[in-house]
Amino acid sequence: MNTVRKIINDPVYGFITIDHPLILQIISHPYYQRLRNIHQMAFAYLVYPGAVHSRLHHSLGAYHLMCTALAEIKGKGIEITPEEELGAKLAILLHDIGHGPFSHALESEVIAGVHHETLSLLFMERLNQEFNGALDTAIAIFTNKHPKYFLHQLISGQLDMDRLDYLIRDSFFTGVAEGVVGYDRIIKMLTVKDNQLMVEEKGIYSIEKFLVSRRLMYVQVYLHKTVIGAEMMLIKVIRRAKELIAGGVTLMAASPAFNFFLHQPPGSIFTPDQLDTFCQLDDHDIMTSVKNWMAHPDKILSLLCRSITERKLYKTTLQNEPFSHATVAEKTLSLATSLGLTAQETGYFVFTGEASITTYNVDDERINILFKNGAVKDISQVDNALISRNIESTIKKYYICYWRH
């Protein structure tokens, strides 16, 4: 009989059940608890006020889907040992543990040269040491060194539990009904053949719907112009802060940990011994610093910080082609005059860029459909499949952000 059993209320799935002592210990660990203070969707709540759910909540959700998927697959006669089951659950629980605050925006600004997946692995290895190797299988699955490939696919693949949960959860909390995914049907249709994750034939339409929902979330939510503008503004704040520090100006962040990373010499690379300092960082440090800097003597920094705090964001426009130099030059001139800045400084207030889906790694992986007659086809090869061809094209937008005075 289980000695551990904890039920967590979740507005999305109803209840999430924890029934293994190690899972409970990992969730209780400070490394994991810090994810409570990191918004899953960064600044999306500036547009969708409900989108304030945390990375902790998302990874609990992904864990829940993993439990459901493993039960389903086992129910179809595929062998999964208890150790593999625990490993897959731990791996999905920890898959995002390396995220810092405003990760997609700040990864390159605050912690240079290291990707959040690398940090996730670093955290897992630390935990593995602390728990005497109990995460060996989890790490093997996460790094795709475990022989059962389909377990890795459930962590990282076209239909992994991470992606499934974030689409569902982001759709739920934003209130963007168009993004709702029929996850229960998708999971019911999962199966395994030749060590690969497959979808049963009758799940084709659920997959089509999933691909459309995903695309609509990308276009409507993840590439929302105002959210892009807000995140760019935060990037500009950090850049200005580092520029001032590099120029010898006194500038303190609201916390020692954030201060530490801000004051790293230019060109520094993240090293594993900084992990505990990194672990102190969350959204609170960033946001408190931004608020504090509203009073900083540097006009550019203070103006940007006030703009974030008071939600006076850049006017942002998206289009499918790059913006012309003329457009940018004209706005730069106008803003340089009105703000009393040099042309170079005005780069904080008008600039262009290119946004594509960073939440989605386009790779070669397929969504395999297993037909009743045993044949296997990629969804894009299925006769009559509505949307596959269009869905695969990557989404790229050009944006211009400029200050509205």
Using CB under 8 A as the binding rule, the residues of this chain from 195 to 224 that contact its own copies are 205-206, 208-209, 212-213, 215-216, 219-220
User: Under the criterion CB under 8 A, does residue 275 sit at the interface with its own copies?
Assistant: no
- Helices 225-246 and 299-309: crossing angle, nearest 10°? 150
Least distance CB 192 / its own copies (angstroms): 12
Q: 350 and 403 in contact (C-beta within 8 Å)?
A: yes
Count CB neighbours of 2 within 10 A.
Answer: 9
Stretch that binds its own copies, among 83-91, 158-166, 251-259, 372-380 (CB under 8 A): 251-259
Q: Identify which range of 86-94, 103-111, 184-192, 330-338 contacts its own copies by CB under 8 A.
A: 184-192
15 touches its own copies by CB under 8 A: yes
* Nearest to its own copies of 174, 368 (CB atom): 174
* Cβ–Cβ under 8 Å, residues 93 and 23: yes
Can residue 19 be called a binding residue for its own copies (CB under 8 A)?
yes
The rounded radius of gyration (Å) of the Cα atoms in the chain is 23
Among residues 41, 42, 53, 85, the one that binds its own copies under rule CB under 8 A: 53
Residues between 285 and 314 that touch its own copies (CB under 8 A): 285, 287-288, 291-292, 295, 309-311
390 binds its own copies (CB under 8 A): yes
- Write the DSSP assignment of 202-242 as a string of letters: GGHHHHHHHHHHHHHHIIIIIT-HHHHHHHHHHHHHHHHHH
Q: How far is the CB of 13 from its own copies (least distance, A)?
A: 8
Residue numbers 357-386 binding its own copies by CB under 8 A: 383-384, 386
Q: Quick check: 356 binds its own copies (CB under 8 A)?
A: no
CA 253 and chain centroid, separation: 25
What DSSP letter does each residue of 82-125 carry, written as one string? HHHHHHHHHHHHHTTTT--TTHHHHHHHHSTT--HHHHHHHHHH
Using CB under 8 A as the binding criterion, the count of chain residues that bind its own copies stands at 77
User: Considering only residues 70-109, where is the footprint of its own copies by CB under 8 A?
Assistant: 75-77
